[in-house]
Structure 1
């Protein structure tokens, strides 16, 4: 079955029937996400080596665009997922990549820390106040991440922090959602599409294995610039929907980012 055929089936069978309830009641579209996983669409951009479809940004953008016409919340979840997978594909573990390909793992982004409700700049995405301290094979991450899509619903987050070994820069981590001391407040963030489960995620601190780092220590800035931002902007522009329906990480329009 082609991904277009699978998408048409999922939109008709799982997304459209629940879109109104998702929008009016703010209920996370768990059934739609499960259907996307079962048909291989969550693993659309995972390498075929791990069981994914091995496709790229253009195909993911088509999936997001068509989904956005039916359910903006589900589209927001997919935008954050596909962008996170772009990082995981390059730096994540084989096990996580295989789980995503099998449709059993939903990823999201936890990069934002600014407190106001405005749009984030490129500079805010490539800096972090999150502290990281290593003790043996364990790293403690302490932060308050804001505007996280699928908060409390995703299986893992691509998480940013200060580097371990240098005072400046950025490091990225794959943080499991089930990790102890990871807390999601009950009240969702009202700036996201209703049902997208956009909220704050607190780590006070959260402990992760040292090998959960995605890429080199201090190399997160380049990863954000060359993987995260192109996917966020590409998925947004192709979907052709309003900015407030595309807040996977609160990124500004492309012309604003270019001037940062």
Structure 2
């Protein structure tokens, strides 16, 4: 069965019947994501050698655009997932590739930040305010990521931080959702299509094995510019282009999610909850 035929079946049987509920109630389209995984569509762009579909950006854009016409929330989740998988594929060797290929694993992008560091505020390709420190075979990640699609719903997140060694560049990590001290707000902020689970992730700090580093220390910016940004631009355009109004309208001015408290790691009096493992 071709990926287009498989997608048509999932859209008709699973995505369409739950799309209105996702918009009306803001409910994450878990059934749709699971069905897409079973149909091989989450692993569409994983290399065939790792058990995936072995396809590329044009096919991913096609899947996202067709899905957006039925359920914008599901399309936004797919766009983020495919962009994250592009980074994982470019580096190779990640523990998560086979899980994605098997349709059991959803990846989210945790790249965008907010702060008071000047013109690079919120720029996922600029200087990161998230930090990493290594202790033997464990790395402590500390920071806050905003506008994370599928926050608290994905199985892992592509996370960026300052390098372990040296002041320049970025380092990428594949952070498991089950990692202790990874939190989403109990009352999440806005951003993204309703139902897409777009919110903030807090690492305060998160302890992960050192081998979840993706690529080399300090080499993440090249991966983001060469792979993630081109993919994300086309995938997000596919979401927007399939809708009567731009998805960006659900995001605050300047592409930022609305704020409900101080711009700090753990807002005073704010309630946080662990990011549930899927």
Aligned equivalent of 1:244 = 248
Aligned equivalent of 1:211 = 211
CA deviation map 1:26-55 (0-9, x unaligned): 000000000000000000000111111100
Q: Provide the rounded CA distance (Å) in 2 between the counterparts of 1:89 and 1:233.
A: 18
Partner SS state of residue 32, structure 2: helix
- Compute the displacement of 1:237 (Å): 2.7
Q: Provide the rounded CA distance (Å) in 2 between the counterparts of 1:90 and 1:246.
A: 31
Aligned equivalent of 1:172 = 172
Aligned equivalent of 1:183 = 183
Q: Provide the rounded CA distance (Å) in 1 between the counterparts of 2:168 and 2:95.
A: 31
Aligned equivalent of 1:220 = 220
Asked if 1:58 corresponds to 2:58, the answer is yes
CA deviation map 1:85-118 (0-9, x unaligned): 00111225454111101110000100011159xx
Query: 1:40-119 to 2 correspondence within 5 Å?
Result: 40-93=40-93, 95-114=95-114
Q: Provide the rounded CA distance (Å) in 1 between the counterparts of 2:77 and 2:249.
A: 11
Q: 1:185 to 1:145 in 2, by over 3 A?
A: same
Partner SS state of residue 109, structure 2: strand
- Compute the displacement of 1:126 (Å): 3.1
Q: Provide the rounded CA distance (Å) in 2 between the counterparts of 1:122 and 1:202.
A: 15
Aligned equivalent of 1:156 = 156
Q: Provide the rounded CA distance (Å) in 1 between the counterparts of 2:94 and 2:142.
A: 26
- Cα root mean square deviation, aligned: 2.1
What is the TM-score when the length of structure 1 is the normalising length? Answer: 0.89
Greater helix fraction, Structure 1 or Structure 2: 1
Asked if 1:234 corresponds to 2:239, the answer is no
Aligned equivalent of 1:146 = 146
Q: Provide the rounded CA distance (Å) in 2 between the counterparts of 1:94 and 1:201.
A: 22
- Compute the displacement of 1:251 (Å): 7.3
Partner SS state of residue 172, structure 2: strand
Structure 2 residue runs without a partner (length 5+):
257-278
Partner SS state of residue 70, structure 1: coil
What is the TM-score when the length of structure 2 is the normalising length? Answer: 0.84
Q: 1:229 to 1:100 in 2, by over 3 A?
A: same
Aligned equivalent of 1:258 = none
